[in-house]
Structure 1
Amino acid sequence: MTSKLAGRRIACFFPWKPFEPTGAWCRFQCLWRFLLDQGCEVTLCLLADGADAQLKNVAVSFPKNFNLVGAVWNFGQKLATGAHRRELKGLTQAEIGLLLMYEKTLYTENAEFSQWLHERVSDHDLMICEYPMMLPVLADCCRKAGKPLIATSYDALFELHGTTPFGRDTLRRKEIEALSLADEVVFCTETERKLFESFKIRGHVVPNTGDARSVTPGKHEEFKASVTASLALKTPHFVLFVGSDHGPNREAVAEIKQFARQIPEVSFVIAGTCCPKSTEGNVIALGSVEPGILDSLYRGASTVIVPLLRGTGMSLKTFEAFNYAKALISTPVGARGFTVESGKELLLVEKPTDFPAAIRQLLSDATLRERLGLNARAYAEKLDYRNQFSPYADIIERLLATSPAPAITKTAPPGLLLVDNNLSDHIGHHYNYALSLRDHCRAAGFGFSALVKQKAAADILSELDGVPLFRQGLHEDAAQNPYPAEWGHMRGMYDFLASNDRFARELEEGLQSRARSGEVIFLPNATPRQILGVALLLNKNPIYRLLRFVLMLRYSVNSGVGPINARKAFFDKETAEHYLFSFDKLAGVSADCVRLVTDSQELAKEYATLARRPVEVMPIPHTANEDAGAAVAGVPTKNKSKLRVVFLGDARDEKGFELLPALARACAQEPWLSKVELVFHAYISSHYHLKMGTVIEELSGVKARNLSLVKSSLSAAAYRHLLATADLVLLPYDSITYRSRTSGPFVEAICAGKPVVAPAQSWMSIQLGTSGAGKTFSSGNVGDFVAAVLAVLQNHATYATAAQELGCKYREYHNPENFVRQLVGAGS
């Protein structure tokens, strides 16, 4: 970070309920995201109820036993029954509430709040106060500590909330006095800057904007159809209004209900707390909606309307409409602060009764709608907060010019934090997968670290910059399950909930110590035992929504059960229900925060019905290096006159390990004895597969000099060596289990240009297609398997050539570089 603000500690105070889709919160979010972009360490000081939380560069802090709205109520009750009762007579409830927020006693009579405020000011280099009400008490604290203070004025509050002459005059005086206490003041519009300058309050203008990069406009027809179906709309178009529970917004809703009667051929959809959920004729109010729903509404709306009659500051809803490239109709009040022209970026109408004609004009002219939308989007891109919020940096730099610069500790660039609660040793693909991600993240200029199992080996922690964290592995049950085995469903539900609770707590611990805002948190084997934990964490404290979670879905809910030669399809209903439950709890989280990904089109289709949100298909990074690597202990040196046939990975029933003894016996006879050497990985990685021990014993009993068994896991280098020296890779897997599920060894073999034998009617057979790079067999049929292997060996040169050709094509997409680019680069 080259910014002069790097390492500066900034405390940002916000008075309202946080993490809500209000205009005030959206602007505040732009502010602290801008500060984070500048390399600042930011604490969000929120005057509401909540739990403290932190990442490496941003924290959330709540005062204990203090809620601004509740404090105002309690304080007002005291005043209403005391000596000040006569002074409050004649004021509206809104005027009284706002006036009380300026009173120092409201804050200082709470000893815990005073201590909290003192600690926040002492711990930071500079304070920023959103809204002026808290300035009197905050300015006192800053003055005593010698710390600078910036105030952001969102509106001329006395104009917005002062409805009685005495109330308006008193609010004006309070607002001016409070703003005069700040070292610098930032206004949202030039109009308000000039207004307060007339009261001798000088300041700067930083307009209300947003994140233009967060939205890629498009898919209007698709989302219009979706919204129309879900709301059962009877009209070909719907018009959208969005607003929070704010007086001017409620008044706008009343106007919409009036003029909507004049245009019955259009549906009017109202989103937000400005109107309770209801339906009145062609006006449908949805109440508060989740971010994903709001996104769909914006995309599907034929036009957006802002029929505001009063207000100060700038309306974020107007920027949002611009950002979605929507044709917008607004009153001049709704467009205040924006440098726009009617007929260019939007249509301006003077009064609500003009809206029906303007709506009909837009809906009858698709070309005009498109032109307005394109111009609006171009304007929104210029207004992106990264461009507009630079005055804050200049002000902070000037105020801290005489303050000693912080010692900057060099940190890794933002990048990827791998979360793998199964990774503890070199067994299986977990370690090699992580190693590949580490190397290619660093090569691409991204940082990399990992949260792994608590008992992970020291060398793994060192190589992966890992944190030993998770006590429970991916497939391990809770140790203290109180329910008896015969209570099957309840026992499973306990394990499901307990595993997620533990995972969420341990993950939070790791995120606080390792993650920075904006980084990708990647779960390479996400199951319901983790997904619900992620949802729990994001709902418990929304600060973690500053991270970008990517959940890789790799296991199908459809599998095979029974002996390999008589497998039957099994739909895991309980696991499917757990997926549904977990995905449902993510429904309120935006796709920018949580991406669901998988590595096969077949799995994507399967999960789409469960997740009810997009599931991306990613490249597969299981590409081993082309060098032969180190020799494998216990495996003879490759005989150039023989074809080497290998089986890679641990012994499992779904991998068809039981079919290998028959092949070993067939190859123990001439002519194959002198033409082929067999190298089978033959070890058990989990107690779930202990029954494969008898198969390993059977293989050990095959007396053949051309058979070698590798009875332990391999280092990454040794694994690469075994693959590189192979002439044929065996994948005798169960086709039911692998109908949509991918296989790492298959991808490695194909990318290395090695022919394969794989089951028909599986994901692997789909990948082979008509390439001729391998041969398929009837899953579980030992005779068919052996015949397929021998057929490839008899015509190996032809299969090898085809495998090289397929490998070249496959590597163009399935490679670690492409995977990392799509994983980390998206949205960065």
Structure 2
Amino acid sequence: MRPHRLLIVEEALRDREGHWFEYNRATKAALQSTGDVHVDMLGHQTMELDVASELEAMPHFQFTVWDQIYNQPQALRRYFGIGQHNYRLYRDLSAYLKQADYYDTVFAPTVVLHHLAGYHALAKRYTGKRFGQLVLLVRNNIALYDSEGSRTFRSTAKFWKWAICRFSPMLEDGSVRLVTDSERLADEYEELTGIRFEVLPHPSLVGGSNDETMPHVAGADGTQALRVFLPGPARYEKGVVRLLEAVQMLATQELSSPLDILLQWRTAFKLPDGSTIGPDDVAGYGSDQIRFHVFREALSSAEYLAELNSADLIVLPYLREAYFARISGVAVEAMMLGKPMVYTSDTWVAALAESFRVGIASGGSSEELRDALLDATVHIEKLTANSKGRAEEVKQYFSAEKFASVLLADRGEKSDG
């Protein structure tokens, strides 16, 4: 039997920034670990050579919506941009499919409103001719959430509903599958459209037998400092400001161990009040007991894994209104490594952590985060032992085999006869 042929379509893939590189790297590895899947990958035409080489990806797409080229002040121009990009996607991918061999599956891991009509046209034209099934991964919030997790749909929800519901006949015959990566997002989409999306587990290369946890290092005065890591690029919605405020309040406490706070922070960003905060401001929140280490350049995969491995505590103080339904890949990776976590309650991360009974939940304020961090530092050994004891269950839940089995369900192979 011939290998299953799968094409990954990722127009924003060109460097190691954002989630695109790691997600597609993990996706390809998970699929190939099954032993009978051939994976091709298309990215942006300006893809860096080392990225193209490592992923064996082909530079192809001329435009990506994540360049903000359609983010215009006038609503009419923004709506025109949605149609324009759908056409550009259709044109570019159609040009490739016409000359490529047949694919059993075309997988688009990052789909937004600017893509749905284009993929609908591609499915209508090429299903059964150039590919067997089209799998679209949608993971953007169509709704807004308040700090209590209450949902209100955005003004663009009517366009999302129209674009998604057009796939109904294709969903019924299996030529198109709509997937997301969170049960909470699936609930959101179902409320809007009446269509239940499948939930695709998050792929991860972390947690293998070679990913051994590193002991924490000694501080400058000879005492062992607890390494507290907020993984991923620092952004307001990820709670980095809340963490800084909590750490500043901890400076007045008597800590059982000094803290090394690790942040990935390259550029400044604006706060809701219009002021700006950036990596240069971090030092002012430290103290004799608390030191900051800021990574100002993007970490390579190996560097990121090394920092994750050497961390004693992962802190994910995400704002509930941004992460009520959104997943966190770094939370999955931390749990697979058996790392204790402090996380915001009533978020996707909290639901995951609580299902495995690990970590400490914090409320949505800086004061509550301070208390949770203090609790974690006092009980770090117990928390670590518990997290390590649950790591194997997490690895099984997010295994490559499970990811591949869901993605390749109804595999769409073309008969050799």
* Aligned counterparts of 2:194 and 2:247: Cα–Cα separation in 1: 47
User: Is the Cα contact below 8 Å between 2:267 and 2:279 reproduced in 1?
Assistant: no
DSSP 3-state at the match of 1:789 = helix
User: Is the Cα contact below 8 Å between 1:560 and 1:734 reproduced in 2?
Assistant: no
> 1:468 aligns to what?
59
Distance 1:513 1:650, change over 3 A: farther
> 2:86 aligns to what?
500
1:646 Cα shift? 0.1
Aligned amino acid, residue 683 of structure 1 = R
Aligned amino acid, residue 503 of structure 1 = L
Equivalence map 1:475-514=2 (5 Å) = 475-478=66-69, 485=73, 487-488=74-75, 490-514=76-100
> 1:700 aligns to what?
283
* Aligned counterparts of 1:470 and 1:686: Cα–Cα separation in 2: 29
Match of 2:49 among 451, 458, 475: 458
1:589 Cα shift? 2.0
- What are the superposed Cα offsets for residues 347-387 of structure 1, whole Å, 9 maximum, x if unpaired? xxxxxxxxxxxxxxxxxxxxxxxxxxxxxxxxxxxxxxxxx
User: Is the Cα contact below 8 Å between 1:426 and 1:713 reproduced in 2?
Assistant: yes
1:497 Cα shift? 0.7
The alignment status of 1:417 with 2:7, answered yes or no, reads yes
User: Is the Cα contact below 8 Å between 2:30 and 2:203 reproduced in 1?
Assistant: no
User: Is the Cα contact below 8 Å between 1:646 and 1:729 reproduced in 2?
Assistant: yes
> 2:135 aligns to what?
550
* Aligned counterparts of 1:822 and 1:685: Cα–Cα separation in 2: 39
User: Is the Cα contact below 8 Å between 2:148 and 2:320 reproduced in 1?
Assistant: no
Equivalence map 1:772-791=2 (5 Å) = 772-779=357-364, 781-791=365-375
Equivalence map 1:299-378=2 (5 Å) = none
* Aligned counterparts of 1:436 and 1:685: Cα–Cα separation in 2: 29
1:826 Cα shift? 4.0
Aligned amino acid, residue 651 of structure 1 = A
- What are the superposed Cα offsets for residues 175-195 of structure 1, whole Å, 9 maximum, x if unpaired? xxxxxxxxxxxxxxxxxxxxx
* Aligned counterparts of 1:621 and 1:692: Cα–Cα separation in 2: 37
> 2:385 aligns to what?
801
Distance 1:592 1:813, change over 3 A: same
* Aligned counterparts of 1:448 and 1:692: Cα–Cα separation in 2: 46
Match of 2:166 among 581, 585, 597: 585
- What are the superposed Cα offsets for residues 386-434 of structure 1, whole Å, 9 maximum, x if unpaired? xxxxxxxxxxxxxxxxxxxxxxxxxxx4332111122211123221121
DSSP 3-state at the match of 2:155 = helix
- What are the superposed Cα offsets for residues 428-447 of structure 1, whole Å, 9 maximum, x if unpaired? 32211211222232222211
Aligned amino acid, residue 599 of structure 1 = D
Distance 1:448 1:504, change over 3 A: same
User: Is the Cα contact below 8 Å between 2:234 and 2:263 reproduced in 1?
Assistant: no
Match of 1:752 among 323, 337, 351: 337
1:615 Cα shift? 1.5
List alignment gaps of at least 5 residues for structure 2: none
Instruction: Give the aligned CA root-mean-square deviation in angstroms.
Output: 3.2
Equivalence map 1:142-221=2 (5 Å) = none
Distance 1:523 1:507, change over 3 A: same
Distance 1:806 1:735, change over 3 A: farther
Distance 1:570 1:825, change over 3 A: closer
1:776 Cα shift? 1.4
Aligned amino acid, residue 242 of structure 2 = L
> 1:813 aligns to what?
397
The alignment status of 1:743 with 2:328, answered yes or no, reads yes
Match of 1:598 among 167, 180, 186: 180
> 2:34 aligns to what?
444
DSSP 3-state at the match of 1:459 = helix
Equivalence map 1:248-263=2 (5 Å) = none
Equivalence map 1:620-639=2 (5 Å) = 620-626=202-208, 627=210
> 1:660 aligns to what?
243
Distance 1:734 1:824, change over 3 A: same
User: Is the Cα contact below 8 Å between 1:653 and 1:692 reproduced in 2?
Assistant: no
Range 786-795 or range 467-476, more displaced: 467-476
User: Is the Cα contact below 8 Å between 1:425 and 1:460 reproduced in 2?
Assistant: yes
- What are the superposed Cα offsets for residues 652-694 of structure 1, whole Å, 9 maximum, x if unpaired? 22111211222443455674495322111112499999x8961
DSSP 3-state at the match of 1:648 = strand
DSSP 3-state at the match of 1:574 = coil
* Aligned counterparts of 1:628 and 1:666: Cα–Cα separation in 2: 34
Aligned amino acid, residue 158 of structure 2 = E
Distance 1:515 1:550, change over 3 A: farther
Equivalence map 1:10-89=2 (5 Å) = none
* Aligned counterparts of 2:60 and 2:369: Cα–Cα separation in 1: 43
Distance 1:700 1:572, change over 3 A: farther
1:817 Cα shift? 2.8
* Aligned counterparts of 1:440 and 1:516: Cα–Cα separation in 2: 21
* Higher Cα radius of gyration: 1
* Aligned counterparts of 1:651 and 1:501: Cα–Cα separation in 2: 34
* Aligned counterparts of 2:218 and 2:119: Cα–Cα separation in 1: 47
* Aligned counterparts of 2:164 and 2:34: Cα–Cα separation in 1: 32
> 1:181 aligns to what?
none
DSSP 3-state at the match of 1:706 = strand
Aligned amino acid, residue 594 of structure 1 = V
The alignment status of 1:615 with 2:197, answered yes or no, reads yes
The alignment status of 1:527 with 2:109, answered yes or no, reads no
Number of residue pairs matched by the alignment = 402
Aligned amino acid, residue 790 of structure 1 = L
- TM-score normalised to structure 2 length: 0.85
Q: Percent identity?
A: 24
User: Is the Cα contact below 8 Å between 2:102 and 2:129 reproduced in 1?
Assistant: no
User: Is the Cα contact below 8 Å between 1:658 and 1:695 reproduced in 2?
Assistant: no
List alignment gaps of at least 5 residues for structure 1: 2-36, 38-412
Match of 1:537 among 116, 122, 125: 122
Equivalence map 1:387-406=2 (5 Å) = none
Distance 1:676 1:455, change over 3 A: same
* Aligned counterparts of 2:101 and 2:397: Cα–Cα separation in 1: 29
> 2:308 aligns to what?
723
Distance 1:770 1:602, change over 3 A: closer
Aligned amino acid, residue 804 of structure 1 = K
User: Is the Cα contact below 8 Å between 1:753 and 1:807 reproduced in 2?
Assistant: yes
Distance 1:617 1:524, change over 3 A: same
* Aligned counterparts of 1:576 and 1:528: Cα–Cα separation in 2: 10
DSSP 3-state at the match of 1:624 = coil
* Aligned counterparts of 1:441 and 1:427: Cα–Cα separation in 2: 23
1:542 Cα shift? 4.9
Distance 1:544 1:657, change over 3 A: farther
- What are the superposed Cα offsets for residues 590-646 of structure 1, whole Å, 9 maximum, x if unpaired? 4421111112222112212344444112222135144459x9xxxx96769332110
1:753 Cα shift? 0.9
* Aligned counterparts of 1:818 and 1:455: Cα–Cα separation in 2: 33
User: Is the Cα contact below 8 Å between 1:424 and 1:457 reproduced in 2?
Assistant: yes
- TM-score normalised to structure 1 length: 0.45
* Larger fraction in strand: 2
User: Is the Cα contact below 8 Å between 1:623 and 1:815 reproduced in 2?
Assistant: no
Higher relative contact order (CA 8 A, sep 6+): 2
DSSP 3-state at the match of 2:156 = helix
Aligned amino acid, residue 463 of structure 1 = E
